[in-house]
Amino acid sequence: MLKIGHRGAKGYCAENTLESIQKAFSLDVNGIEIDVHKCLTGEIVVFHDFMVDRLTNATGEIANLAWSDVQELRVDGKHRIPLLQEVLGLVPPNKMINVELKGRDTAKGTVLILQDFMDTKQLRLEQVFVSSFQKTELQMVSELNPDIQIGVLTQASVTEALSFAQEIKAYAIHPNYTLLSPAIVLKAHQFGFKVFAWTVNDKKDINRIRDYKVDGIISDFPDRL
């Protein structure tokens, strides 16, 4: 079972920051999960929310900010928002990264960046997962590079996720852990999909979901896995 740090190591450091990524890898995770948006000038930035209000002292949509403006923001007052390339550069050769396409129109830019890292041997194909709740973004990924491993995120219907995963020949489904049961995990495996559960933080929940034979757990506290 893969141990995956949620937004780096969100339980210990400001989420999706370089410091959070480094903290996760120091906890001996198998990989990390991050979120990306496209800012106004086209750069792919690592940030979770559509609005910057919760995490910074600014307001507004991150998609409406130029990269020069994003560079001035500070998460929790001290951490800067990184580019996707910066985070990819921190991934060790034996670890994986799950890039969640959170924002709109993120697929093309993300795939181009990932392809560049793979072309220059900085990352191997098997180290990379791309996931999203947004079907159109995942369809775009599949069209641009059908070899990239895709994860279908869901917090509502595993049945619908499995159906869409079949349609786009995905690698995995990524359900909210509260949707899972041993039978559901078995069904996904019978369809040929891996199952990565999110976001599991309580030790009792971790033990229960592990017993379901999932392929990975995403946690704010990956050292608990």
Rounded to the nearest angstrom, the gap between the alpha carbon of residue 66 and the centroid of all alpha carbons in its chain is 23
Asked if 141 and 79 count as a contact pair (C-beta separation under 8 A), the reply is no
Q: Is residue 64 one of the residues assigned to a domain?
A: no
> pLDDT tens digits for the chain (225 residues)?
999 999 999 999 999 999 999 999 999 999 999 999 999 999 999 999 999 999 999 999 999 999 999 999 999 999 999 999 999 999 999 999 999 999 999 999 999 999 999 999 999 999 999 999 999 999 999 999 999 999 999 999 999 999 999 999 999 999 999 999 999 999 999 999 999 999 999 999 999 999 999 999 999 999 999
CA gap 149, 169 in Å, rounded: 9
CA distances from 110 to 107, 131, 143, 220 (A): 5, 11, 13, 24
CA gap 126, 41 in Å, rounded: 30
Q: Is residue 133 one of the residues assigned to a domain?
A: yes
CA gap 170, 217 in Å, rounded: 18
What single-letter DSSP state applies at residue 176? B
* pLDDT reported for residue 118: 97
Domain coverage including residue 6: 2-50+82-224
Q: Is residue 68 one of the residues assigned to a domain?
A: no
CATH number at residue 194: 3.20.20.190
* pLDDT reported for residue 117: 98
Query: What's the CA angle centered on 56, arms 58 and 201, to 5 degrees?
Result: 150
* pLDDT reported for residue 131: 98
The reported pTM is 0.98
For residue 60, give the 3-state DSSP assignment.
coil
Helix (H) or strand (E) holding 217: strand 216-219
Q: Is residue 61 one of the residues assigned to a domain?
A: no
* pLDDT reported for residue 75: 98
* pLDDT reported for residue 204: 98
Helix (H) or strand (E) holding 183: helix 182-190
Q: Is residue 138 one of the residues assigned to a domain?
A: yes
Q: Is residue 63 one of the residues assigned to a domain?
A: no
* pLDDT reported for residue 7: 98
* pLDDT reported for residue 208: 98
CA gap 9, 12 in Å, rounded: 6
Query: For the chain, what is the domain count?
Result: 1
* pLDDT reported for residue 90: 98
* pLDDT reported for residue 206: 98
Q: Is residue 62 one of the residues assigned to a domain?
A: no
For residue 139, give the 3-state DSSP assignment.
helix
CA gap 100, 86 in Å, rounded: 16
Q: Is residue 8 one of the residues assigned to a domain?
A: yes
